[in-house]
């Protein structure tokens, strides 16, 4: 799934917003941090780069391997999710249903996953007033592509969800979500069997309030194979 999590799971938008992002200068264009398999960026100016510099978020910040949160190893069981392009949405509906003690048939899981995807489409693409409530998601989307192009793609059932959709759905469903990496992926070749939290969404909904009950967290496992599974 092409998303900001593919760079190691750090919410780059939050870094830029709160001023914690650090930059480094390089003498040649570099690939986008959110698309690690992309080729070197095309030159913005013709000619050589001998007297030009380009800025990128420093790798140590983009991956954030040294933060206190990412050092905590947790243990869960993995529930595999079908990898048909819906895996983020499938894992999310599966987790929310399990938290309520509701079993889902394969057909219900697929249909509910599509409903979540279309709910994001409705909020972002079809309701300008609602869209204003999801500024962070809009920024995440338009960093990679135009909003028009995004709205064309999200209508397809094989659309890959990621950072933008988690920003929307955590708020829309009032659902706390934590995304993890396998320990062995996070430590670059290590052999640990645990899981390390790398991003959190909708944390306020896990606490509850006078008007609402606290909700159980849905824990998603993101792997380097661009796939989401569920942790329980």
The strand pairing partners of 36, in sequence order, are none
Report residue 71's pLDDT band, with 50, 70 and 90 as the boundaries: low
More confident residue, 106 or 23: 106
Query: Is residue 102 a part of any domain in this protein?
Result: yes
The strand pairing partners of 227, in sequence order, are 223
Query: Is residue 35 a part of any domain in this protein?
Result: no
Which of 114, 151, 184, 227 is catalytic? The answer is: 227
Residue carrying the six token digits 């070197």: 40
Which of 3, 48, 87, 114 is catalytic? The answer is: 87
Query: Is residue 10 a part of any domain in this protein?
Result: no
Q: What is the CATH number of the domain that holds 78?
A: 3.90.70.80
pLDDT tens profile 90-108: 999 999 999 999 999 999 9
Average the pLDDT over 36-47 and give the result.
37
Q: What is the pLDDT of residue 189?
A: 60
Give the range of the structural domain holding residue 165, as residue numbers without chain letter: 70-231
Q: Are 155 and 121 in contact (CB under 8 A)?
A: yes
- In the chain, the number of structural domains is 1
Query: Is residue 134 a part of any domain in this protein?
Result: yes
Q: Does 51 participate in catalysis according to the annotation?
A: no
DSSP 38: P
Q: What is the pLDDT of residue 13?
A: 52
Q: Does 84 participate in catalysis according to the annotation?
A: yes
Which H or E element spans position 60? helix 59-63
**Nearest C-alpha neighbor of 143 from the set 167, 123, 126:** 167
Query: Is residue 152 a part of any domain in this protein?
Result: yes
Query: Is residue 145 a part of any domain in this protein?
Result: yes
List b or e across 143-158, with b for residues whose CB sees 16 or more CB atoms inside 10 angstroms.
Answer: ebeeeeebeeebeeee
Average the pLDDT over 49-63 and give the result.
37
Which of 3, 41, 84, 112 is catalytic? The answer is: 84
Query: Is residue 115 a part of any domain in this protein?
Result: yes
Average the pLDDT over 133-161 and give the result.
96
Q: Does 87 participate in catalysis according to the annotation?
A: yes
The strand pairing partners of 196, in sequence order, are 181
Q: Which residues contact 150 (CB under 8 A, 6 or more apart)?
A: 124, 125, 141, 142, 164
Query: Is residue 63 a part of any domain in this protein?
Result: no
For the full predicted model, state whether its pTM sits above 0.75. Answer: no
């Amino acid at each position: 799934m092409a998303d900001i999590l593919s760079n190691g799971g750090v919410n780059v938008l939050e870094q830029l917003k709160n001023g914690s992002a650090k930059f480094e200068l390089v003498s040649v264009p570099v690939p986008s941090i959110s698309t690690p398999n992309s080729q070197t960026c095309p030159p913005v100016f013709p000619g050589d780069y001998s007297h030009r510099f380009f800025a990128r978020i420093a790798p140590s910040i983009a991956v954030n391997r040294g933060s206190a949160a990412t050092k905590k190893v947790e243990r869960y069981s993995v529930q595999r999710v079908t990898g048909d392009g819906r895996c983020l949405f499938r894992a999310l509906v599966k987790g929310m249903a399990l938290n309520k003690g509701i079993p889902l048939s394969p057909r219900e899981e697929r249909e509910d996953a599509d409903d979540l995807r279309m709910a994001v489409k409705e909020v972002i693409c079809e309701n300008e007033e609602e869209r204003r409530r999801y500024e962070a998601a809009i920024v995440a989307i338009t960093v990679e592509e135009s909003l028009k192009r995004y709205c064309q793609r999200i209508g397809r059932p094989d659309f890959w969800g990621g950072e933008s959709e988690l920003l929307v759905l955590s708020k829309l469903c009032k659902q706390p979500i934590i995304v993890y990496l396998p320990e062995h992926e996070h430590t670059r070749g290590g052999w640990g069997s645990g899981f390390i939290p790398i991003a959190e969404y909708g944390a306020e909904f896990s606490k509850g309030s006078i008007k609402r009950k606290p909700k159980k967290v849905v824990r998603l496992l993101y792997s380097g194979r661009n796939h989401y599974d569920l942790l329980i």
